[in-house]
């Protein structure tokens, strides 16, 4: 079923590419005398952005998020016209073949001649073999046209290899620095949690134990309670460093544990066809954990929804709460999550208007 859906999407993309190629041709013929104007270049950029989305390419990665003024979009629109026409011819041949096969099956199924020929065993075998070969060639042509369109867009719209290499080096340097900052911030937070919480509780526990030894046995109940709370805080601190259950239980069970400890109702939907790489699982866990903690402590939320799904080898994490909104993406916790996601070449977005709701999304490639 999934392969059929992908095939129908590819067919739709090629058909849409044919239509848009003809529209691009009309645009180029009418706008060519005014190609130097900014409005024409902006229109060409917008058409290129639409085509990139049709091909499931990231416009920002191709440099289409801002006007460049070098005429690259106009040249791309001109180059893709013949490819779009080729796709249209391929789709037309496919339609003609399916139509002929349908008429042939309808005629011979009713015992009627087709083009003066009645069905015989050799003729049926010949038609089946020829139709299968032609269908294979036609489908291969559709796949080839789609691949050619993607290659053309990446080649003509994307940055040149030297620029792409420089951008990649810059991204890696920034993500490395971000990871170091995030690790230092996490260490400081763990130290603060241990110092302000667990350490003080253990000091109080020691004092209670000393008083109990001096003839106050009624304090034993308080000692037991303080010890239980200390154990709970130590377990929570350990889970914030690294959730050990993630290795043995998997992401779904680890997120269920986050929901149980949240203090607010949390609905978790984790639908992954297979376990992603451990680094991706870890980042997913920390994104959900931090987002749920913020919703419970700062947003005054009464309900949180967590969704983890995979789309085209990309794990998408979405956390939404019904709190007051106004979350600051530059805050310590959220900025640390952004650096964690960036370290895996992922994308992290925070949408939190005043009054809510707050939606946190992370897209993590796992291929």
Residue 270 sits in the same domain as residue 260: yes
Residue 53 sits in the same domain as residue 84: yes
> What CATH number is given to the structural domain containing 352?
3.30.565.10
Q: What is the pLDDT of residues 61-117, one digit of tens each?
A: 777 777 676 778 888 889 999 999 999 999 999 999 888 888 888 888 887 887 777
Residue 148 sits in the same domain as residue 165: no
Residue 29 sits in the same domain as residue 145: yes
Angle, helix 121-157 to helix 72-109, in steps of 10 degrees: 170
Choosing from 158, 187, 219, the residue where a domain stops is 158
Residue 43 sits in the same domain as residue 104: yes
Choosing from 220, 241, 262, the residue where a domain stops is 241
Angle at 361 between CA 355 and CA 364, to 5 degrees: 170
pTM tops 0.95: no
Residue 219 sits in the same domain as residue 120: no
Give CA–CA dist 180/186, Å, rounded: 10
CB 247 within 8 A of CB 236: no
Scanning the chain, the segments in alpha helix (DSSP H) are 2-31, 38-54, 72-109, 121-157, 161-193, 200-213, 220-241, 245-249, 251-260, 278-297, 332-343
Decide if pLDDT at 138 tops 80.
Answer: yes
Residue 204 sits in the same domain as residue 331: no
The alpha carbon torsion through 257, 258, 263, 264 (nearest 10 deg) reads -110
Choosing from 196, 215, 241, the residue where a domain stops is 241
Residue 119 sits in the same domain as residue 198: no
Decide if pLDDT at 318 tops 90.
Answer: yes
Chain Cα centroid distance, residue 12: 22
Residue 21 sits in the same domain as residue 154: yes
Decide if pLDDT at 312 tops 90.
Answer: no
Residue 62 sits in the same domain as residue 174: no
Give the number of domains in the chain. 3
β pairing state of 347-351 and 304-311: unpaired
Which residue range(s) make up the domain with 315? Answer: 246-367
Residue 282 sits in the same domain as residue 334: yes
Residue 343 sits in the same domain as residue 298: yes
* Residue 197, pLDDT score: 62
Average pLDDT rounded to a whole number, residues 234-258: 71
Give CA–CA dist 145/140, Å, rounded: 9
């Amino acid at each position: 079923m999934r392969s059929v859906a992908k095939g129908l999407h590819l067919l739709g993309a090629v058909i849409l590419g044919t239509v848009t190629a003809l529209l691009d041709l009309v645009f180029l013929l009418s706008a060519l005398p005014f190609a130097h104007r900014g409005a024409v270049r902006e229109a060409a950029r917008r058409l290129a952005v639409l085509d990139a989305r049709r091909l499931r390419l990231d416009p920002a990665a191709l440099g289409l998020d801002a006007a460049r003024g070098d005429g690259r979009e106009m040249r791309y629109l001109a180059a893709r016209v013949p490819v779009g026409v080729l796709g249209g011819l391929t789709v037309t041949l496919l339609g003609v073949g399916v139509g002929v096969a349908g008429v042939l099956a309808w005629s011979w199924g009713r015992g009627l001649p087709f083009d003066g020929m009645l069905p015989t065993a050799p003729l049926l075998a010949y038609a089946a073999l020829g139709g299968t070969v032609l269908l294979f060639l036609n489908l291969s042509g559709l796949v080839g046209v789609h691949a050619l369109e993607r290659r053309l867009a990446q080649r003509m719209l994307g940055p040149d290899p030297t620029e792409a290499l420089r951008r990649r080096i810059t991204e890696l340097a920034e993500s490395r620095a971000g990871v170091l900052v995030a690790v230092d911030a996490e260490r400081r937070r763990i130290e603060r949690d241990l110092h302000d919480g667990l350490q003080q509780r253990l000091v109080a526990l020691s004092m209670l134990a000393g008083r109990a030894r001096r003839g106050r046995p009624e304090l034993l109940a308080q000692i037991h309670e303080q010890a239980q709370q200390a154990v709970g805080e130590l377990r929570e601190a350990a889970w914030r460093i690294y959730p050990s259950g993630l290795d043995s239980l998997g992401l779904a069970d680890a997120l269920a544990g986050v929901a149980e400890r949240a203090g607010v109702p949390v609905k978790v939907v984790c639908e992954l066809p297979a376990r992603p790489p451990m680094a991706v699982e870890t980042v997913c866990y920390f994104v959900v954990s931090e987002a749920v903690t913020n919703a419970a402590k700062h947003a005054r939320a009464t309900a949180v929804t967590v969704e983890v799904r995979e789309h085209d080898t990309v794990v998408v994490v979405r956390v939404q709460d019904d709190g007051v909104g106004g979350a600051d993406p530059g805050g310590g916790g959220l900025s640390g999550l952004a650096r964690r996601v960036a370290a895996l070449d992922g994308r992290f977005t925070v949408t939190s208007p005043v009054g809510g709701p707050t939606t946190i999304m992370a897209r993590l490639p796992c291929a």
